[in-house]
Amino acid sequence: MTQTAVAASEVKPRRLPREIALTLTGYTLLALVLLWALFQLITKPTEFAQLFIAGLGNGALFALIALGYTMVYGIIELINFSHGDLFMLATVLSGIVCVSWFSVDSFTLGAVGAVALALVLAMAAAAALNVAAERIAYRRLRRAPKLAPLITAVGLSFAYQWFGQRQFMTGSTSKQWSTMFGSDGFNIGDIRVPYTTVIVIAVTIPLLLLMVYIVQRTRAGKAMRAVAQDQDAARLMGIDVDRTIAFTFAMGGALAGAAGLLYLQSIGTSNYNLGFRLGLIAFVAAVLGGIGNLQGAVLGGFIIGILQGLNDGLGLGQQWSQTVVFALLILLMVFKPEGILGSPTTEKV
């Protein structure tokens, strides 16, 4: 909210010794992680590059999901717990389109068309579902205390999981789907690059750029930023707040839909509860970059993807990957709660 001149003059930045110590500790920890990565890079360059590429692919997916999270959070300050499950539904839907309708299992021209169609369908369906959820569940709760929409999001997450659990979707166990590339790839020197990673990055980067363009250059994006700042003021300026929020949900949903298809094409399995875990990781990515900040979400997604990849191969191992991600989150919260690219928020009084 707006800050009066008097209040602004009263807030003087004072650096307590305790805060300086905290910042220093934070940077030391960061430096240690970087040193460790550097050490691994020097001692095992091939392995490092291999894991780095795998991490890059995952990071792109996290970035896509994280963008949806961060946009919704940025505009109505809601941790949309159902976002990950929306992604899961998109995964299954794209699998149904690709495999059950067109039986895609190899890289042909038809397969590319089918996957492209699935991409469009998944994006549209996820966007529509997200907008419907906003209309039915979140809109009425916009002025309610924060806990209410949060619980609603959890409820929706359960409802989505139920839908994913149906037999025609993925069933209650995990389901295998054939994919366009399988595990094919090409080699650069000793390093093997799966085709899917290339596809994931090739689809992700334009989408991310498009999103940044929409938010920063178009009228709708301007409206979004205005609504995020102050809904009432935006309304007074003639912005249709409801429509802007719905638009934000639509874009977040579409990104989750795209991420769903890419996930299925690169992993090849779906499970009704995969969304929750991935959604949490994506949310950590969004927070890491500074929640509400688009570039931050992308950066956070890639950082988490790469760190996780390195940890799986060279660090503690895959069984600890969740711990690494959440330890990162907690450290960040303690040392720099506003995230890497976020700006510190002043307390509203």
Partner 1 sequence: MTTTPEITTPPKELKPAKVGSRSSIAWPLGFLGVAVLIFVLNQWILPEASADVQSGFREWLPMSAVNEAVLWAIFALGLNIVVGYSGLLDLGYVAFWGIGGYVAGWLMAPFANQVAPQWNNLKISVWGHPLPGQDYGIHLNFWLVLIIAAVVCALAGVVIGAPTLRLKSDYLALVTLGFGEILPEVFRNGERVGPNGAWNITNGTKGITPVDQIGTGPFQLIPGVPDLLGPFDLTWKFIVYGGLLALAMFVSLRIREGRLGRAWLAIREDELAASMMGVPLMRTKLSAYAVGASFGGIGGVCYATHVGGVLADRFTFSVSIILLAMVVLGGMGNVWGVTIGALGLAWINSTGLSKFGDVYNDVTGGNVNFASHNFLIFGAVLVLFMLFRREGLIPETRTKQVLQEPERGEIESLGAEMEGTAEDTAAEGAHK
- Residue 31 CB, nearest distance to partner 1 (Å)? 20
Q: What's the gap between Cα 140 and its chain centre?
A: 25
- Residue 297 CB, nearest distance to partner 1 (Å)? 15
Q: Rounded CA gap, 306 and 326, in Å?
A: 15
149 binds partner 1 (CB under 8 A): yes
What are the C-alpha distances in Å from 40 to residues 44, 301, 309, 310, 324?
6, 21, 13, 9, 17
Which of 5, 16, 109, 349 lies at the binding interface for partner 1 (CB under 8 A)?
349
150 binds partner 1 (CB under 8 A): yes
77 binds partner 1 (CB under 8 A): yes
Site string for partner 1, 264-303 (x = CB under 8 A): ------------x---x--xx--x----------------
330 binds partner 1 (CB under 8 A): yes
In this structure, are residues 134 and 249 in contact, taking their beta carbons and an 8 Å threshold?
A: yes
Site string for partner 1, 307-326 (x = CB under 8 A): ------------xx-xx--x
Q: Rounded CA gap, 300 and 131, in Å?
A: 26
- Residue 83 CB, nearest distance to partner 1 (Å)? 15
Which of 6, 147, 187, 219 lies at the binding interface for partner 1 (CB under 8 A)?
147
Residue 231 makes CB contacts below 8 A (sequence gap 6+) with 241
**Helices (DSSP H) in the chain: which residue ranges?**
5-10, 17-43, 45-76, 83-95, 109-133, 147-165, 195-217, 219-229, 231-236, 241-267, 274-289, 294-313, 321-335
Residue 102 in 3-state DSSP? coil
Which residue carries 């039915």 as its tokens?
Answer: 136
Site string for partner 1, 113-142 (x = CB under 8 A): ------------------------x--xx-
Q: Rounded CA gap, 248 and 242, in Å?
A: 10
Number of residues that bind partner 1 (CB under 8 A): 52
Q: Which residue ranges make up the site for partner 1 (CB under 8 A)? A: 1, 77, 79, 137, 140-141, 143-152, 154-163, 165, 172, 231-233, 235-236, 276, 280, 283-284, 287, 319-320, 322-323, 326-327, 329-330, 333-334, 337, 347-349
